[in-house]
């Protein structure tokens, strides 16, 4: 199973980037063919229909292809003001926007339709970013994704990782693994 893992953050010390790295390693150990994507490696402007009319940026086209090629995803969603961040929304807006002049990419849901998505989050607060998940999941449904019922919000994230970047708590590792297992199980059954 090809699995895409990414965080909706580019901050160097991001808890969600750390969690994405952990999840990617755990998924690989579970037998998945993992692509650990860093959104900061792509030059993607804020979505603007006027800009898009002049031509979809090259890095957006790269992202569309990467998301399309992976039948399953794990998203690690930060929580900003009780919701998910603009970076994550912007990425999903761009990959789901049709390229009207392109016979392949004029389908707006080509990169998202039918993808099995697991949602994780990390926050230093007591809820672990669960409020961002509650806003992200309806967006994923709108993009025609299958969202795994199991989710996990890593609370008190500042003390949740050891010096090697691994999760300290066995319970947290088990909950991340449960999301991974469900995504891989469903992805294998729902992939075209």
pLDDT in tens, 66-117: 999 999 999 999 999 999 999 999 999 999 999 988 999 999 899 999 999 9
pTM of this structure: 0.96
CB-hemisphere CA count at 13 Å for 69? 12
Beta bridge partners of 80: 83
Tokens of 154: 């890593």
Domain ranges of the chain: 2-190
Count of CB atoms situated within 10 Å of the CB of 97: 17
CATH of 2-190, one of 2.40.50.140, 3.80.10.10, 3.40.50.360, 3.40.50.1360: 3.40.50.360
pLDDT digits (tens, 9 = 90+) for 118-132: 999 999 999 999 999
């Amino acid at each position: 199973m090809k699995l895409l893992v990414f965080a909706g953050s580019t901050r160097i010390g991001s808890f969600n980037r750390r969690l994405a790295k952990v999840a990617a390693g755990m998924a690989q150990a579970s037998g998945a063919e993992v692509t650990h994507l860093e959104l900061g490696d792509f030059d993607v402007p804020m979505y603007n229909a006027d800009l898009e009319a002049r031509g979809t940026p090259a890095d957006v086209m790269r992202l569309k292809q990467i998301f399309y090629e992976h039948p399953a995803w794990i998203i690690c969603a930060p929580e900003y003001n009780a919701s998910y961040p603009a970076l994550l929304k912007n990425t999903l807006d761009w990959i789901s926007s049709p390229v009207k002049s392109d016979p392949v990419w004029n389908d707006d849901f080509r990169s998202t339709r039918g993808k099995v998505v697991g949602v994780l989050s990390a926050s230093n607060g007591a809820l672990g970013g669960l409020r961002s998940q509650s806003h992200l999941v309806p967006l994923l449904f709108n993009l025609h994704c299958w969202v795994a019922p199991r989710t996990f919000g890593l609370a008190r994230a500042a003390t949740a990782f050891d010096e090697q970047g691994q999760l300290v708590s066995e319970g947290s590792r088990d909950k991340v693994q449960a999301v991974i297992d469900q995504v891989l199980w469903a992805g294998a059954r729902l992939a075209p």
